[in-house]
Amino acid sequence: MPHVGWSIEQRAVVRRWTRTAAFFTAAGVVLSAFLIVTGNPGGWVLLVMSTCIYGALHLFLRNAARKQPS
């Protein structure tokens, strides 16, 4: 049986996890902005960690989608 690509359920799961990651990234950016404004240097660490994790997820999903047949 040939591999025909992602099923509807798999695409729905990817969308759900992407939305969850985007929500936590937005929350991390808001929290890090608050920490930076109040003078806490940990805000920069949180900002870098949040954006790097979301960026890695985005690159992974984009690469996985390119490998799937349409």
Q: Is 3 helix (H, G, I), strand (E, B) or coil?
A: coil
Range of the domain at 54: 9-67
Mean pLDDT, the chain, as a whole number? 87
* C-alpha 48 chain-centroid distance: 13
Determine, yes or no, domain membership for 4. no
The answer to whether residue 26 is domain-embedded is yes
Output the six-digit token pair for 36.
């930076």
Alpha-carbon span 54 to 31, nearest angstrom: 16
Total domain count for the chain? 1
Q: What is the pTM of this model?
A: 0.75
pLDDT of residue 3: 61
Flag whether pLDDT at 5 surpasses 80: no
State the Cα–Cα distance between residues 22 and 4, nearest whole angstrom. 28
Is residue 36 assigned to a domain?
A: yes
What value does the mean pLDDT take over residues 29-39? 95
Report if residue 56 sits inside a domain: yes
